[in-house]
Every structure is written in C-alpha cells, then in structure tokens.
C-alpha cells in the first residue's frame, strides 16, 4: 500500500512537471530551466554528501584490512 | 516641479535600503535549498549527522532570514512615502505582484519557516522535509514576485497608459510575468543566491576544518556546498549572458553604459576589458580591449553590432520631439477628456510620452523648448557610464573568481583532500564576502543602468518622487542608515557567535564542543 501511495505521488509529480513544461513552453523557458536546474543542483549536492560517506567507509574498511 | 535634491536624496535612500536588504536576501534564497539538500540526505539515509547539519545551517539561516525580513518591510512603504507619483502612475501594475508576493509567497515562507524551526520533534521526518522544501520554494517565489515588479520597471510590457485616468493600466498579466527580462532576471538573481549560500557554507566549513572542529560536519557541508556552488556559478554566468542579450534589445542605453560603448563600431566589435569612461567627453581613456568579443557576447554572432551612445542620443532626440505633442495633448485631455482632436494627437504620439516628460525637466513650457534643451534631455537618457561599466566588470570578475574557487573546492573535496589544503581553506574563509560584493554590484548595474527612468522609456525618475523637504529626506536617510547599520552589526554578531559555538551535538548536549569523527559512529561515517 505504501509503495502504491508513493507511486501515485511520483506519478502526480511527473504529471505536474509534464503539464508545466507544456504550459511554460516557449513563453517561460527560463522558469522551467530554473525548476529543473534547482532540482538538479539539490540532487547533485545531496549525492555529493552520500558519495563522501561511501568514500570514508571505503577508506575505513581499507584501514581495517591493513591493520 | 520637484526639487532635484529631494529626488537625489530619495534615490540615495532607496538605494541604501535596497543595498542593505540585498545583503540578506541572496543568502536566504540559496541557503534554503542547501538546507533542503542536507535534510533530503538525512531523510533518505537516516544518518544523524545530516540532521545536525540541517539544524546548524538552519540556525544561521534563521538569523539571516529575520534580519532580511526586517530590512525588507520598510522598502515597500518607501514607494508610498518617497515615490508617490511613481506609485500613483504605475501602482495598478506594480502593486499586483507585490500583493501576490505578500499573500502567497511570504505567507507560505513565514508559515513553513515556523514548522521548520520548531517542528523537528513534532513532525515526522517526511513532514519536516516537506516544510523545509516549502520554505525554500516560498523564499524563491517571494523573489520571483519582487522581480516581476522590478522587471516591469526595466521592460514595461503588458501595460498601457490611460490618458483619462492618467495612470498605467495592466493589459496582460501573462506578458508581465513571462517577459524575457523578468524571467532571466529572476533566474539570475535566484541562482546568484545559491552561489552566495554555497560560498558562505564553504567558507564556514573551511573555518572549522582549519581549526579541526566539527570535522565530519564541515567536510560534508563543504562537499555539498562545493558541488552546489560549481553548478550554480555556471548557471549564474549563463543567465547573466541571457540578461545581457535581453538588455541589448530592450535597454540599449544600459548595455552601452555596461560596455563603455560611446560610438558604434564595425562588427566584430572588441570588448573593453579595462577603460576609464568620461561622461562629459564621451570617450574612454586607458582602454585595454579583447578583439571581437563584444559582438559575440551581446549578439551571439561575429557579424552584428549594437548601438553606441552617439546613435542612442540621436534616437532619443527624435523621440523627445515626438513626445512633445503627446504631453501637450495629454494636458488638453486633462482639462477636456472629450476632446477628440487631442485624443487623436495623443494616440499618434503615445509611444514617446515618456520622452516628452524627460524634456519637461528643462522646458516646463514645451511649446518654447529649444534645440539645446532637447539635446540636454537626450543626453540625460544615458546612465552614469563609469559607475555601470565598473560595477559590471567587478561583478563579472568576481563571478569568474567564484567559478574557479568552486571548481577547485569540488576537486579537492571529491579527492577527499580538502582538509589537508590549509592554503585553500584560508582562501575559502576570505571568500565569504565576495558573493555579497558581486550581488551589490549586480544591483547597481541593473538599477543605475535603468536611469534616467523609474519605468524604462515611460516615466522619468525626476518626476517620480514625492514633494518632501530636503530636511525631511536628510533626517530619514540618516535614520535609515543608522538603523540598518545596527542591523548589519547585529547580524554579524549573531552569525559569528553561532559559528563560534558550532553545531549542537546530536541529542542536544554540549553545544560547541569538538566532536571526534569517531563519535558519529558507523552511521555518520558511512
């Protein structure tokens, strides 16, 4: 049920973005670019944090193996 | 006629309050999305260090947010108190986005900021994350509506002057919000805020790494800010190019001032990298040029040109001559709205009404206007070139400096060696004021470059102000400068104090103590 609700939420978001893209079209291309660009910035930034966690875990594991 | 000193003091007062306010706003715009990024990692990974990061940077966000609101409130009142003719003339258009900003964006931002600050223990993780995202969108939507209003002043589309009500009236809300100037200005300004926040977070994190305090938090904050910053800086430069492209079409005088372009040149035009413009002699001294670059930047081609000041002044002289009958017809219509001949005359020349107003400063009786007065009014259409030229170059130079800074920060952070680069960490701390200075320069380019108009091509600045006394303006200006300087001192004191104390430890104990990396355990360190 939880997965289904998430599916509905993400389908709703995908629909909103599709409609936004269609409406903004030529008239509001920079607004659309801002929406997409901001989301991308946040996700890349978040992925950077997660990547650092993975790098440190890998370094810690390598240190344990050597000792 | 309004006293010229009062107009100048009104301009100084608005510029001072706007420049103070604009020290706070960009950090709010950007830090809100960085908070959203940190909390998103917390919710998706469950690692408490990201909650600690969101709470710590959230505290700094709140200090800045509170003072930003305090400095912004007075500006809206200034439109009524110091710019009453302007408010009466364009209030029907200008007021709409400001009202929407207050009712929609600011209320949304203010409501959810409460949930964000006080909701950590009261909301579920998902609900709190939603509140943080809504604060971020609310802050930026707030900026959107303010910039829609400002965009109308730069490129007044979607409105027309009604000679019977003597006011501008909105004809197309769609044109107003989708104006290319508004769009590119909003995205440029919003992303400049992201860059500001990224430099701020990188600088403060570097401070902790230099002192080996809160190392896990600082390394993660720096990594996230560096990646956020490098992409945002690319975006802000791209949008800056778009704004220049738009200005070439809608505000050619601003563009000519930005480039110190006194005379038209054959394509491809060189770019004045360094020059010392003289407004009186209409020439540049000490010029250092880059061949072909200006055509490429402002026309995106090598075979097109833009107009120089000399051609723009000639255009302005023709428009002033066309504007004289528009103002004369308007005066007749003010006395007799049924006068069909006056209405026909006005309709034929309405496009140049603003230029007729410009001439009134020199010739209150337009029927007696001399060619010398027309030339003087035409010369007024050129903004202060040296100030715009150098503000633009400082802004662009600092933008490129920040791009280089973030590329290096991202590289060092991705190699996980940034904590060992002490020289870079010291540079990062000193970089903190740079985006604030760039933002102020950007504001100066946009608003000084709009002169001599409050609404470009429509309403001259000299007739937009209120009829206050000089003493009143001096007194209120001193009051504003004093009060806002106190706000800046309070902001700096609170921020420095919060940064020195450092983040609260998970569980709320021992604020400000150094936390060994191991204390975060396997979860925090992955």
d(CA A34, CA B144): 11
Q: Residue B123: is the preceding peptide bond cis (ω within 30°)?
A: no
Nearest-CA distance A42 → chain B (Å) = 5
Q: Considering only CA atoms, which of B243, B238, B262, B260 is closest in space to residue B390? A: B260
B441 contacts B392 by C-beta, under 8 angstroms: yes
- Whether A42 sits inside 8 A of B219 (CB atoms) is no
Which of B451 and B509 is assigned the larger pLDDT? B451
Tokens of B74: 């007075």
Inter-chain residue contact A45 with B227, CB threshold 8 Å = yes
CA distance B238 to B260: 22
Q: CA-CA distances (angstroms) from residue B402 to B102, B218, B221, B293?
A: 33, 20, 17, 22
Token pair 């920060």 is found at B409
What is the model's pLDDT at position B507? Answer: 55
Please provide the average confidence, as pLDDT, over all residues in chain B: 89
Q: Which two tokens stand for residue B524?
A: 């925090």
Asked if pLDDT for residue B434 goes beyond 60, the answer is yes
Helix (H, G, I), strand (E, B) or coil at B158: coil
Q: In chain B, what residues touch A10 (CB-CB under 8 Å)?
A: none
**Model confidence at B33: pLDDT above 90:** yes
CB contact A54 to B (< 8 Å): yes
Shortest distance between the Cα of B110 and any Cα of chain A, in A, equals: 21
Task: Determine contact: A26 vs chain B, CB below 8 A.
Answer: no
Name which of B45, B183, B235 is nearest A37 (Cβ-Cβ): B235
Distance from CA of B239 to the nearest CA of A (A): 9
pLDDT > 90? residue B164: no
Q: Which of A31, A44, A56 minimises the CB distance to B525?
A: A56
Domain ranges of chain A: 2-66
Which residues share a beta bridge with B161?
A: B168
Q: Which residue has the higher pLDDT, B307 or A25?
A: B307
Specify whether the CB–CB gap between B141 and B105 falls below 8 A: yes
- State residue B523's pLDDT score: 37
Question: Does the CB of A34 have a partner CB in chain B at under 8 Å?
Answer: yes
Residue B514 scores a pLDDT above 50: no
Chain A interface mutation, best of B183, B196, B417, highest count of A Cβ atoms under 10 Å: B183
Task: Find the range with the poorest average confidence among A18-32, B113-127, B320-334, B458-472.
Answer: A18-32
Token pair for residue A8? Answer: 């509905």
* A28 near B CB under 8 A: yes
| For residue B58, pLDDT beyond 90 | yes
Q: Give the span between the Cα atoms of B344 and B195, in whole angstroms.
A: 52
Q: State percent of chain B over pLDDT 90.
A: 54
A and B: number of Cβ contacts within 8 A: 97
User: pLDDT category, B513, cuts 50, 70, 90?
Assistant: very low
For residues B28-37, b (16+ Cβ closer than 10 Å) or e, as one string?
bbbbbbbbbb
For the cut 50, the answer to whether the pLDDT of residue B517 exceeds it is no
B-chain residues near A29 (CB < 8 A): 183
3-state SS track over B28-73: HHHHHHHHHHHHHHHHHHCCHHHHHHHHHHHHHHHHHHHHHHHHHH
The minimum CA-CA distance between A62 and chain B, rounded to whole Å, is 14
Query: Any idea which residue has 């662009």 for tokens?
Result: B396
- pLDDT for B520 equals 42
Q: What is the pLDDT of residue A40?
A: 93
The average pLDDT across B473-495 equals: 89
| Residues in chain B closer than 8 A to A42 (CB atoms) | 33, 36-37, 40, 228
pLDDT in tens, B283-319: 999 889 998 888 888 888 888 888 899 999 999 999 9
Q: Are B207 and B163 in contact (CB under 8 A)?
A: no
Q: Is A13 in CB contact (< 8 Å) with chain B?
A: no
Burial class (CB in 10 A: 0-12, 13-18, 19+), B105: buried
Q: What is the pLDDT of residue B506?
A: 62
Interface contact A44-B231, CB threshold 8 A: yes
DSSP conformation class of B505: P
Position A62 scores a pLDDT of: 83
ipTM, 2 dp? 0.84
pLDDT at B90 over 60: yes
In which band, very low, low, confident or very high, does the pLDDT at A67 lie, cut at 50, 70 and 90? low
Of B138, B107, B147, the C-alpha closest to B18 is: B147
The C-alpha atoms of residue B208 and residue B425 are separated, in whole angstroms, by 9
Least CB-CB distance to B220: which of A37, A44, A49? A49
A20 interaction partners in chain B (CB closer than 8 Å): none
Cβ B428 vs Cβ B405: under 8 Å: yes
For residue A13, give how far its alpha carbon lies from the nearest alpha carbon of chain B (Å): 14
CB contact under 8 A, B183 and A59: no
DSSP states along B219-288: HHHHHHHHHHHHHHHHHHHHHHHHHHHHHHHH-HHHHHHHHT--S--PSSPPEEEEEEEETTTTEEEEEE
Contact A45 B190 (CB under 8 A): no
User: Model confidence over B414-424: pLDDT tens digits?
Assistant: 998 999 999 99
Rounded CA separation B436/B484 (Å):
16
Q: Is the pLDDT of residue B511 over 80?
A: no
What value, to the nearest 5°, has the Cα angle with vertex B466 and ends B460 and B469? 125
C-alpha angle with apex B305: B299 to B311, nearest 5 degrees? 130
B512 versus B439: the higher-pLDDT residue is B439
The predicted-structure confidence for B347-371, as pLDDT tens digits, reads as follows 999 999 999 999 998 888 888 889 9
For residue B522, name the pLDDT band (cuts at 50, 70, 90).
very low
Tokens encoding B131: 């509140």
Q: What is the mean pLDDT of chain A?
A: 86
Cα–Cα distance between B219 and B197 in angstroms, integer? 16
Peptide bond into B452 cis (omega under 30): yes
Contacts of B36 in chain A (CB under 8 A): 42
8 Å CB contact of B223 and A53: no
Q: Pull the structure tokens for residue B62.
A: 């709140």
Task: Report pLDDT for B79.
Answer: 87
Poorest-pLDDT segment among A39-48, B43-52, B97-106, B313-322: B97-106
Q: Which of A45, A47, A55 sits opposite B416 (nearest CB)?
A: A55
Identify the residue whose tokens are 């001439």: B359
Residue B524 pLDDT > 70, yes or no?
no
Please name the member of A30, A37, A54 whose beta carbon is closest to the beta carbon of B184: A30
Mean pLDDT of B385-404: 95
Interface test with A, best of B195, B202, B220, B227 (most A CBs within 10 A): B227
Domain boundaries, chain B: 4-155+171-254+382-503, 271-305, 309-380
**Residue B510 has what pLDDT?**
40
Contact assessment for residue B220 and residue A52, using Cβ atoms and an 8 Å cutoff: yes
Mean pLDDT of B63-72: 85
pLDDT at A49 over 70: yes
CA atoms of B313 and B358, how far apart (whole Å): 13
């Amino acid at each position: 049920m939880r997965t289904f609700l998430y599916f509905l939420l993400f389908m709703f978001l995908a629909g909103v973005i599709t409609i936004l893209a269609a409406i903004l079209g030529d008239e509001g291309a920079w607004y659309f670019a801002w929406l997409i660009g901001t989301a991308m910035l946040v996700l890349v930034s978040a992925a950077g944090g997660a990547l650092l966690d993975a790098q440190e875990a890998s370094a810690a594991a390598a240190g344990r193996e050597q000792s | 006629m309004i006293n010229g000193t009062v107009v100048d003091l009104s301009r100084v007062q608005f510029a001072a309050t706007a420049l103070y306010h604009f020290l706070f706003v960009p950090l709010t715009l950007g830090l809100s999305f960085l908070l959203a990024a940190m909390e998103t990692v917390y919710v998706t990974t469950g690692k408490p260090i990201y909650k600690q990061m969101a709470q710590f940077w959230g505290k700094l966000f709140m200090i800045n947010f509170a003072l930003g609101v305090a400095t912004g409130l007075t500006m809206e009142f200034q439109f009524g108190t110091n710019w009453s003719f302007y408010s009466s003339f364009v209030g029907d258009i200008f007021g709409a986005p400001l009202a929407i900003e207050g009712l929609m964006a600011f209320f949304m931002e203010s409501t959810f900021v409460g949930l964000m600050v006080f909701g950590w223990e009261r909301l579920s993780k998902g609900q709190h994350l939603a509140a943080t995202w809504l604060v971020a969108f609310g802050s930026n939507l707030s900026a959107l509506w303010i910039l829609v209003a400002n965009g109308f002043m730069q490129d007044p589309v979607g409105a027309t002057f009604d000679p019977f009500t003597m006011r501008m009236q909105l004809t197309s809300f769609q044109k107003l919000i989708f104006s290319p100037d508004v769009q590119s200005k909003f995205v440029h300004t919003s992303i400049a805020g992201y860059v500001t926040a990224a430099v701020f977070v990188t600088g403060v994190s570097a401070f902790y790494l230099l002192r080996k305090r809160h190392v896990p938090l600082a390394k993660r904050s720096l990594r996230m800010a560096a990646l956020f910053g490098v992409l945002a800086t690319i975006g802000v430069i791209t949008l800056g190019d778009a704004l220049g492209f738009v200005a070439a079409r809608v505000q050619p005088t601003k563009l000519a001032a930005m480039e110190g372009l006194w005379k038209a040149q054959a394509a491809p035009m060189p770019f004045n990298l360094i020059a010392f413009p003289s407004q009186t002699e209409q020439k540049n001294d000490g010029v250092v040029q880059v061949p072909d670059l200006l055509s490429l930047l402002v026309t995106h081609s090598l075979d097109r040109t833009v107009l120089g000041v000399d051609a723009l002044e000639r255009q302005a002289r023709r428009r002033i001559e066309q504007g004289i009958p528009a103002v004369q017809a308007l005066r007749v219509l003010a006395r007799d709205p049924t006068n069909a001949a006056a209405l026909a005359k006005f309709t034929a020349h309405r496009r140049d009404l603003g230029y007729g107003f410009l001439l009134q400063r020199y010739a209150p009786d337009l029927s007696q206007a001399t060619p010398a007065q027309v030339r003087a009014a035409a010369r007024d259409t050129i903004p202060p070139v040296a100030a715009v030229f150098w503000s633009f170059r400082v802004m662009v130079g600092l933008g490129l400096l920040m791009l280089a800074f973030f590329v290096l920060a991202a590289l060092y952070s991705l190699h996980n060696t940034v904590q060992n680069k002490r020289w870079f960490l010291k540079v990062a701390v000193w970089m903190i004021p740079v985006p604030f200075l760039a933002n102020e320069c950007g504001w100066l380019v946009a608003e000084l470059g709009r002169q001599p108009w409050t609404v470009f091509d429509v309403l001259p600045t000299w007739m937009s102000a209120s009829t206050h006394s000089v003493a009143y303006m001096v007194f209120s200006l001193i009051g504003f400068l004093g009060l806002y300087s106190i706000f800046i001192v309070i902001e700096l004191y609170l921020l420095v104090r919060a940064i020195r104390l450092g983040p609260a430890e998970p569980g709320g104990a021992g604020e400000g103590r150094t936390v060994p990396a191991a204390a975060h355990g396997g979860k925090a360190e992955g």
